[in-house]
Structure 1
Amino acid sequence: MKSILIILLVLLLLVAGGLYYLGKSSGDGAAPGLQGGRLAACPSAPNCVSSEDGTPEGQRVEPFPAEAWARIPSIIGELGGRVMREESDYIAAEFTSSLFRFVDDVEFRRATDGIHLRSASRVGYSDLGANRKRVAALREQLSAGE
């Protein structure tokens, strides 16, 4: 019985160490930025959502209304994110998880039909819906201030 507990403890420590390493390595890098005037396409992993045309249905979110542009940086801060880059037609922000310090990128592109957005994890495959929930929280904050 004691040897089983030791093996389970070692496995738990290995998993926690691996998650810590992934979180640490996700701090390196930056948001993909605009590519051909659009936000980068989501990878096939379910840890990304986007409003850009051509996004698969399971990863698609609706764009924000154009009049919300000026409020986006302050709402990012209210929700615990940091604006990393702000231009006249592009905003990049980072959100870091509290437990393993995973970094997610959230990007916004001002367009004639609204504000397109992309929220994606830098590492891993699944985000357990964190990026979709973040976009919903951003949308809720924008709606609350109208």
Structure 2
Amino acid sequence: MTLSMPTEAKEAEKTLPPCPNSPNCVSSQAADSDHFIAPFKIKGGPEDAFSALKKALSEQSRTVVTEATGTTLHAEAASLIFRFVDDVHAILDADAGVIQIRSASRVGYSDFGVNRRRIEALRTALQQAGVIE
């Protein structure tokens, strides 16, 4: 007996939460250029890349990985002074050879580019580890 998921459920597993209208969010699945950031294109094994992402997130200051499965990840990053929390979501899409990524502030309107810089710092760390292009 084989269990199969409806197509909608499979696609939902590959979908990040949408960005709000405010500029304090970036997502590789955003349709608009203000919020869009390129996904991480995997080199080599998808599981290795996802494991490296989890490690890189854990090594960022004031960042805690709160949930992780084989294909999804959620982390919380707190700002230094006011301890505002940003949410980082990642989805491993091994079929497409990418990691979909999103970082967004929970409160406020502007983040002064913090979320974009966070994702680009992760990109650099994963490129240096040789797991993404």
TMscore range, shorter length: 0.7 to 0.9
Name the count of aligned residue pairs.
111
Residue 118 of structure 1 aligns with which residue?
Answer: 102
Identity %, equivalent residues: 39
Counterpart of 1:100 in structure 2 is 82
Match of 1:88 in 2: 70
In structure 2, how many angstroms separate the alpha carbons of the residues matched to 1:40 and 1:125?
A: 17
Shift of 1:86: 0.3
Which residue of structure 1 lines up, in the alignment, with residue 59 of structure 2?
A: 78
Give the alignment's TM-score, normalised by structure 2. Answer: 0.79
Q: 2: CA distance between counterparts of 1:109 and 1:77? A: 16
By percentage of residues, which structure has more helix? 1
Task: Output the amino acid matched with 2:115.
Answer: N
CA distance in 2, matches of 1:57, 1:70: 28
Runs of 4+ in 1 over 2 A off after TM superposition: none
Greater radius of gyration (CA): 1
User: What letter is aligned with 1:77?
Assistant: S
2:27 aligned with 1:43, yes or no?
no
Which has the larger displacement, 120-129 or 66-75? 66-75
Distance 1:73 1:90 in 2: 10
Corresponding residue for residue 137 of structure 1: 121
TM-score (norm 1): 0.72
Distance 1:125 1:108 in 2: 22
Equivalent AA in structure 1 for residue 51 of structure 2: A
Map residues 53-68 of structure 1 onto 2, 5 A cutoff: 54-66=30-42, 67=46, 68=49
Structure 2, unmatched stretches of 5+, are: 1-10
Gaps of 5+ in 1: 1-34
